[in-house]
Amino acid sequence: MIRNADISDARAIADIYNYYVTHTTATFEETPVSAEVIATRMADVKAASLPWIVFEQDGTVLGYAYATKWKARSAYRYSVESTVYLANGVRGSGYGTALYHTLFHQLKELGINAVIGGITLPNPSSIALHEKLGMRKVAHFEKVGFKFSKWLDVGYWQRCLKDLEN
């Protein structure tokens, strides 16, 4: 079941995210975050009138997705950056696709035009997910992050929502 996230989901979301913080380069965050930090981030997304959703099965949060403002300047108000993370062990289950479909539809209803997703490279599974959802690569920045003693590239994928079917 996909539903809007609630502050009570912050611990589960932190647990999912912290796997990626400590074991992968999917995020450039290097120190695990607390449930309180996640709760603050969730409140910031809600204050911006943007969605934060979770995929829940049998009472367990298995993934989440949300959108943040792309940039602060007012002309960017119809563009967002999307994020999706799944619990370790459930990747490839279709939950990421389901979360993104729901997120995109909510964003379109809010009048959002462009959704932008950043991917640490290489990451074939994330690229496949984004491209499956109609996103296309629009940028590649070389050696912009440094984690686990190595330089990392970031690519950006984008989709305009005007052609998204209801």
pTM higher than 0.85: yes
* For the chain, percent of residues with pLDDT exceeding 70: 99
- Where residue 91 falls among pLDDT bands split at 50, 70, 90? confident
pLDDT tens, position by position, 34-49: 999 999 999 999 999 9
Backbone angles phi, psi at 8, to 5 degrees: -70, -10
Q: Is the distance from CB of 85 to CB of 103 less than 8 angstroms? A: no
Backbone angles phi, psi at 118, to 5 degrees: -95, 140
Secondary structure tally for the chain: helices H, strands E:
4, 7
Q: Phi/psi class of residue 17: alpha, beta or left (left: φ > 0; alpha: ψ in -120 to 50)?
A: alpha
Amino acid at 144: V
pLDDT tens, position by position, 121-149: 999 999 999 999 999 999 999 999 999 99
CATH homologous superfamily of 2-163 equals Gcn5-related N-acetyltransferase (GNAT) (3.40.630.30)
What element of type H or E holds 85? strand 79-86
Higher pLDDT, 82 or 164: 82
Q: What is the mean pLDDT of residues 110-120?
A: 97
- Where residue 166 falls among pLDDT bands split at 50, 70, 90? low
Query: pLDDT at position 163, please?
Result: 78
Residue 164 reports pLDDT greater than 90: no
Residue 112 reports pLDDT greater than 60: yes
Query: pLDDT at position 162, please?
Result: 87
